[in-house]
Structure 1
């Protein structure tokens, strides 16, 4: 399977919400994502919605780009292509994967450059809301 085949006519949705990536002392079940490993807890939530008493650090100003396509587990290199293409545009990403869908967060100021590059790969861009 070639990961580039999934971009052609694939849809990428840009979130209406703006997110903050938090380092916290506890997960937040109401957040878009809570990730806990042996070292830290990361919460991705709409800005201002996390209990401030749990926040250790915060990085605000992210938009979520969701790849509205089912990506099989056997697919190798999909996020590598996304990361490389956006890196060529100078766009930093924060990547998250669900069971069959990938998401990348990009800074608000980088949305136009990111979506332009993804359109060049064959993706349709739609705005949420």
Structure 2
């Protein structure tokens, strides 16, 4: 399985509303429930109306489109990282999964995945 890396610094935030979210940016992920609106975006694009934020994240994704019948991909990756004491913040889209780790653990995470047989693409 191929892992695509991204070098941009990301932030995980809670926002009051979406009025200041820059949807035209390269990467922007929004999740809304009855309790909150969560935003993952480039750190330099964090809107002013955040109520909470956590900076210092980097991301990689599983390359290609994943069929819904595939089982356990995210589970396997999270287990490898958990065994190495690396926390994650996972995002799923229709096509694939994105995994964020704190920047301080990013290179270690990629190394652990490579040692487990994953191919890493920069």
Give your verdict on TM over 0.5: yes
Aligned to 2:13: 22
TM-score (norm 2): 0.88
Aligned to 2:79: 84
What is the deviation of 1:46? 0.6
Q: Which runs of 5+ in 1 are unaligned?
A: 1-9
State the Cα RMSD in Å.
1.3
Detail structure 1 runs of 4+ shifted over 3 Å in the superposition.
none
- Say whether 1:50 aligns with 2:46: yes
- Say whether 1:109 aligns with 2:104: yes
Aligned to 2:116: 121
What is the deviation of 1:43? 0.6
Secondary structure of 2:69's match?
Answer: coil
Aligned to 2:2: 11
Deviations 1:93-117 (A, max 9, x none): 0000111211000011111221111
What is the deviation of 1:18? 0.6
What is the deviation of 1:60? 0.3
- Say whether 1:97 aligns with 2:88: no
TM-score (norm 1): 0.84
